[in-house]
A and B are shown apart, each in its own frame.
Chain A
Amino acid sequence: METIVSIKPLLAVLVTLFVIPVLVSSSSRPNVRESWIFVAGAVKLILVLSMLPVILDGKLIGLTLFEIAPGVSIAFRVDGLGMLFAIVAASLYIVTSIYSIGYMRGLDEHGQTRFVSFFALAISATMGAAFSANLLTLYLFYEVLSLATYPLVTHHQDGVSRISGRRYLAFILGTSIGFVLPAMMICYYLTGTLEFSQAGIFAGQLSKPAALVVLLMFVFGFAKAGIMPFHTWLPAAMVAPTPVSALLHAVAVVKVGVFSIVRVITGIFGVQMMADFNLGVVVMCIASVTILLASCIALSQDELKRRLAYSTISQLSYIIFGVALLSPQGLLGGVIHIAMHAFGKITLFFCAGAIFVATGKKYISQMSGLGRRMPFTFAAFFIGALGVIGLPPTGGFYSKWNLILGTLEAQQTIFMLVLLVSSFLNAFYFLPIVYKGFFGKLDDDDDDDDERSPVKIKEANLCLVIPLMITAVISIVLFFYPDIFVHLIKVGLALK
């Protein structure tokens, strides 16, 4: 494929990095600070979109920055997959920034400048991971992202967040240093390269057992993907302010984990080698266990954000599941779920945050009747839930549909059951929330004079409601027009 050399990927990564000093210097004027975020976010999105036509044309955009050792450099290469991920992350960054203003000011949080600065750094790292041309560059941004999100997760600086932060780092940094780094070194030692390529890099240099070990080191090592048993950091990370949970722990961070595994399967091992060694089935089994177990655990969670977190763990494994099918439909369904799940799940998190700001309620059992007071929020929640369950008219249906077709195409009919059971479980843990929200009885044993008494509850401020409406609408739009994403995946993975 033709590669065009361009500085745009670098700029798209750096723009939110370079805005950080500006943010810090305008920390005493929140409005100025926030407008800079939008400027940076918009520039970033424009840069990303300006690369879109070239990518859709079937070309690549590349840029090599530093040669580190023979055959390995820090380099960017934008292809269909990276583009898809970058569009999702860059567009949702802007939406989330609107939401952050409403959330952080609504709760009068401390350290807002620190918060937005590390948020910007995290988005830069996400973009870098999306555009990485090789495993080393990917690893670099993966690690930067882990560290940049630590102060966000532990934002409240209290005892609970301290313990959560520990768990967060122990799982994410521990696995990436303990598993991914050695696996990557082994790859480089054997092949002398770490570049992603459709055919894989091994060319018969790895025996089947060794390949299995290395693959498992990657799959478990990229713990941001939340594969069990390395998933417990994600529920713990829910102590973070909701914008962080929404963008980072439903979209950016977790998807970087999944994206890394997708890259390893499609670019390091190669679909062919995965199929020859029957490795796909192994990964599918691991993913299936996570899908089902996480869904079951989600059922038992009463704290809304934790339920969403377990749902995310389960949905992330859908993506890995689809890619591990190794069939065209499965790959398509899996990868497009990166986008579809992103819009659905971020809507759900936005709703959870809006409910918390408006009512101070975190537990599902307290939420009955709230839907009549906050109709927009609960309507959006309903759409988001449909997206995650995979029902029309939302984008989630498109990915589920393709995943199921993929299992048939790969003749893995048994695994189809996993998808069906999990969808059922999803419906079971989401829809009651909506039902009770609209039709349940408001518990009004609070004092009427209380500022937060049920009678006085109304929608949260506009900065919170508008973003969740936007993402809900996009979820629906994606049902009707998934074409761009489909095309990007077909170009990126050379599918027919």
Chain B
Amino acid sequence: MDNYPALIVVTPLLAALFAGLAAWIEERLSYPIALIGLAVSLFSGVKVLMQVIGSGPIVYRIAGWDAPMGIEYRIDLLNAMVLVLVSAIAFFNLIASCQSVNQETSDRAGSFYTIYLLFVTGLLGVTATGDLFNLYVLIEITSLTSYAMVALGDRDRGPMASLNYVFIGVIGASFYLLGVGYLYMQTGSLNMADVARILSGIHGSNTVLTAFILCMLGIWIKMALFPMHVWLPNAYAYSPVAFARVVAPLMTKVMVYVMIRLMITVFGFDYIFNTLHLSQAVVWLATIAILAGGVMALAQKNLKKMLAYIIVCEIGYMVGGAWMGNQLGMTGAILHILNDAVMTFALFLAVGNMVYRLKTVEISDLKGLFQKMPWTMTGFVLAGMSIIGVPPTCGFFSKWYLILGAFEQGAWHFAAALIISSLICAVLFFKVFEVCFFEPMPQGHGQAHAPVSIEEAPVAMLIVSGLVSISIIVIGLYSGAIVNSIILPFLH
């Protein structure tokens, strides 16, 4: 069957439709529909990835229209990997979500699943498409759905966070659209491969330069690169946990993918690193993003917000790696898309479990949590280790490539920032562990160690949390294989 590339994107879309309709009849029907839709999508994604590894990139023409008139999905190793990542996280998050969605958005579960599926559809489409304008449309689908989701969350602060997000998100989208407009002006085409072919002859053009800068600015706003991050912490902290768990690992990472796609496929390395001389400036920006993200995370009292600022910091890793201008840096950036998504997912799963039981994730309220929720905390510790970059968790290995890339380019400031951010993350996480481990303080030997009863999250949430935590180590140990079979062949 050759329609797998389309199935990846279309099944969640159809499922969204049916889930919305079914919710009119019976609210409880929408959950299984969503689950089936994402399962099919994940299955197709894996199929496509195997096919791409086996026999090279797949070009799928929507409805049989040829490019540049029609829209085509061009799936190579990079986006096949991201597609599997997105559909897998969306699927597993849904498994973990059943109870928490009912708890948080009791009367609106149907609309939650519909928006959730649309959001995932958007992300998958963004990843699969080979068309610049189609990319814009799909980015807007993901953005609009996330605005809605954020507004569904915290009743007091959600709407305000959502409004902020809308304003900044719209600016980002406009930048990108404007950039695409300039490109269309210059090339008369919207198909990525076609545009790249035409651009390769006209590197000096100011129109292309403008287009490039506008596109990058737009994407950077969407991915929350410091100092364009201001929308992110509140939006993630006040959205429903079931949504935060999927938007935090995926949204920014897919945007990093888009940036890399534009850099490699559309504008080309040659143009970016030999004609433009921006790379050093961007690496500096990334360095500042890493440090600023870390420092701001230190100031947070809410666990979700702390994690949100860590995401800002991690964005710096990937942007810096991608703009390093060598293969090692780019390898690190791509590997980090995968690793960061998995470890952020693990962290937010743990946060989800905490919210489910405690109803709050103010760090000071997490006292005694190691005793109360030992499994959740095990997952949280593992993910934290990965963020710090302790081997053999996966976070170490992407950092490995990023630092090597920085060495090769002589970007010592970037290497130093990576090391410092590891140290900052160590402080961040141990600050949380301390609260969970030491408080309430027992009174000396043999007394007042009243056993705290275990109150874990529901089993489904725990299983997903456990699986993802294990995968942090498995992905770490097999990172050599991932680099050799996916990333390096893609870059060559």
Q: Which residues of A contact B (CB under 8 A)?
A: 65-69, 73-74, 107-111, 136, 139-140, 143-144, 147, 151, 154, 156-159, 161-162, 165-166, 169, 173-174, 177-178, 181-182, 185-186, 188-189
Q: Which residue of B lies closest to A110 (CB)?
A: B449
Q: Could you list 15 A-B pairs, sorted by A, with CB under 8 Å?
A: A65-B477, A67-B480, A68-B479, A69-B480, A69-B483, A110-B446, A144-B390, A154-B438, A157-B441, A161-B438, A166-B434, A177-B419, A178-B419, A185-B403, A189-B404
Residue in B388, B391, B437 whose CB lies within 8 Å of A140: B391
Complex CA gap A235/B400 in Å reads 33
Residues of B within 8 A of A140 (CB): 391-392
Q: Is B442 an interface residue (CB 8 A)?
A: yes
Q: Is B478 an interface residue (CB 8 A)?
A: yes
**Which of B1-9, B59-67, B422-430, B462-470 is the contact stretch?**
B422-430
Residue in A107, A165, A182 whose CB lies within 8 Å of B419: A182
Contacts A69-B483, A154-B437; A174 near B423 (Cβ below 8 A): yes
Q: Which residue of B lies closest to A174 (CB)?
A: B423
Q: Is B385 an interface residue (CB 8 A)?
A: yes
Contacts A108-B445, A182-B415; A68 near B437 (Cβ below 8 A): no
Q: Is B27 an interface residue (CB 8 A)?
A: no
Q: Is B358 an interface residue (CB 8 A)?
A: no
Cβ–Cβ contact B441 & A169, under 8 A: no
B395 to chain A, nearest CB (A): 12
Q: Top 10 closest A-B pairs, CB basis?
A: A110-B449, A140-B391, A108-B446, A67-B480, A68-B480, A189-B407, A143-B390, A66-B477, A162-B438, A177-B422
Contacts A151-B437, A177-B423; A185 near B391 (Cβ below 8 A): no
Interface 1/0s, chain B 448-492, versus A by CB < 8 A?
010000000000000000000000000001111101000000000
Complex CA gap A292/B446 in Å reads 40
Q: Is B201 an interface residue (CB 8 A)?
A: no
Q: Which residue of B lies closest to A140 (CB)?
A: B391
Complex CA gap A242/B401 in Å reads 41
Residues of B within 8 A of A189 (CB): 404, 407-408
Complex CA gap A292/B16 in Å reads 73
Number of interface residues of B (CB under 8 A): 34
Dominant secondary structure at the A interface: helix
Complex CA gap A161/B400 in Å reads 33
Complex CA gap A208/B19 in Å reads 69
Q: Which residue of B lies closest to A69 (CB)?
A: B480
Residues of B within 8 A of A158 (CB): 438, 441-442, 444
A72 to chain B, nearest CB (A): 9
Cβ–Cβ contact A74 & B441, under 8 A: no
Dominant secondary structure at the B interface: helix
Cβ–Cβ contact A157 & B391, under 8 A: no
Interface 1/0s, chain B 354-393, versus A by CB < 8 A?
0000000000000000000000000000000100111110
Complex CA gap A151/B385 in Å reads 15
Q: Which residues of B contact A (CB under 8 A)?
A: 385, 388-392, 397, 400-401, 403-404, 407-408, 415, 419, 422-423, 426, 430, 434, 437-438, 441-442, 444-446, 449, 477-481, 483
Residues of A within 8 A of B419 (CB): 177-178, 181-182
Residue in B389, B403, B430, B483 whose CB lies within 8 Å of A169: B430
Residues of B within 8 A of A169 (CB): 426, 430
Residues of A within 8 A of B442 (CB): 110, 156-158
Residues of A within 8 A of B401 (CB): 69
Cβ–Cβ contact A109 & B407, under 8 A: no
Complex CA gap A110/B444 in Å reads 10
Complex CA gap A108/B407 in Å reads 53
Complex CA gap A188/B399 in Å reads 14
B238 to chain A, nearest CB (A): 32
Contacts A157-B438, A169-B430, A185-B403; A177 near B477 (Cβ below 8 A): no
Complex CA gap A304/B205 in Å reads 77
Complex CA gap A167/B407 in Å reads 31
B408 to chain A, nearest CB (A): 7
Complex CA gap A182/B404 in Å reads 10
Residues of B within 8 A of A165 (CB): 434
Q: Which residue of A lies closest to B407 (CB)?
A: A189
Most chain B CB within a 10 A radius of its CB, from A65, A156, A181, A186: A181
Cβ–Cβ contact A173 & B391, under 8 A: no
B363 to chain A, nearest CB (A): 15
Cβ–Cβ contact A74 & B392, under 8 A: yes
B330 to chain A, nearest CB (A): 15
Residue in A147, A156, A185, A186 whose CB lies within 8 Å of B400: A185
Cβ–Cβ contact B404 & A188, under 8 A: yes
Residues of A within 8 A of B445 (CB): 107-110
Cβ–Cβ contact B407 & A185, under 8 A: yes
B128 to chain A, nearest CB (A): 30
Residues of A within 8 A of B400 (CB): 68-69, 185
Contacts A178-B419, A182-B419; A147 near B403 (Cβ below 8 A): no
A161 to chain B, nearest CB (A): 8
Q: Which residue of B lies closest to A190 (CB)?
A: B407
Complex CA gap A111/B478 in Å reads 35
Residues of B within 8 A of A181 (CB): 419, 422
B420 to chain A, nearest CB (A): 8
A135 to chain B, nearest CB (A): 11
Residue in B385, B391, B407 whose CB lies within 8 Å of A139: B391
